[in-house]
Amino acid sequence: MDQMAPFVIFLLAAFSKTLASSTFDGARLGMRHVDFGGNFTKDELLARSAFRSSRLSLQYSSGEYMIELSIGTPDPQPISGVADTGSDIIWTQCEQPTSLYDPKKSQTYSALPCNSNACLNAPNPEPNQCCSYRITYGSSTAQGTLLSDTFLLGDTNPVSVPEMMFGCTTSSTATVSGAAAPTGIIGLSRSEYSLIEQLGVDKFSYCLHRDKDTIHPMFLGSAAILDGSLVQSTPFVAPQETTNYYVNLMGISLGSERLSIPQSLFQYNPSDGSGGVIIDSGTPITRLVPQALKIVSQAVQDKVNLPTADGSKYNLQVCFSLPSGSEAPSMPDLTFHFDGADLELTADKYMTQTDDGLFCLLILEPPFTQSIIGTFQTQNLHVLYDLSNNMLSFAPAECDKL
């Protein structure tokens, strides 16, 4: 999820990052789908994913997968937050009806000094409130106080990491849509506030699959290993100061046909931060800028040779009407050509057939000027963010066996 108003990146209080990075080497975390445990049909799950992808309703966070961890001592308090490479901060709800974390129950909770760099440069602080912050997601906000506590990370052999900084949100309209009700955001961006930067790790990875009711693994630091003959890699682009993870999309093919999409539609503009292509664990369905989506949609329509239909009930923008009782036509792979790597999407990763006879494209328009590669299109891939080498790598994987 790409925040509408990214806040200023600043240096953390030295003790926080130093302690965390000196005691943490790596861990495997368990993630769950936000609709874990919900009794939804295939079409309902599709509509919910598309809705979370849609910024037409900006009062919701759009993430699809949530990280489970615990905060505090001696009795760690379990929380869950949307795993979001497009968010800069870690925050969870406190002192609200859905709160899972109460700082008063932790012996290692600590308020941050009001004159620390973290507090002095907090995003959109409230006047005369020590270490307050306010984060904006479109028309919604999350606000509270920055503090620190011990994190317990890992679903096997958990690791205790002291003095991790996060937001204790006491007022929020930025609710997260999901049956499993995550209570916040786990920022995984390049920001100094994020989980990745505070831990001091130089790589992380995740592997997502279709089953919403099983564990999806995330690996941090030394636990993030990607090997095999099918690994592909592409460099991150854009300045290091940019907190999002940009990649260089060179073009798109449908089958053997390279579509006539100007590469300029996917280029990042360093002068104003517009344009470019982001890979984002917080966006379910891939988004392409309107001019590019129009060309892809036309190419798909030429292949299916079906009349267009209204897919708004599923929050989808490009749909076709199937003849009564007929099966969807066979479709070729859709390939995203990156610098040095090809992401090949089989038909089930970019098209879907609904129970009421629609055949829909699983790509949407973005709310901003950036195109976004979402998690639906990277399912059944082990995706590695190698920050020391500034590379994104991926390979096919059986995620439930990692």
- Give the separation between CA 195 and CA 191, rounded to whole angstroms: 9
- Is 84 annotated in the active site? yes
Q: Which residues pair with 328 in a beta bridge?
A: none
The residue to which tokens 């749909």 are assigned = 319
- Is 75 annotated in the active site? no
Nearest-CA neighbor of 150 among 141, 158, 142?
158
Exactly one of 2, 35, 149, 280 is catalytic; name it: 280
Exactly one of 2, 84, 149, 386 is catalytic; name it: 84
Active-site positions? 84, 280
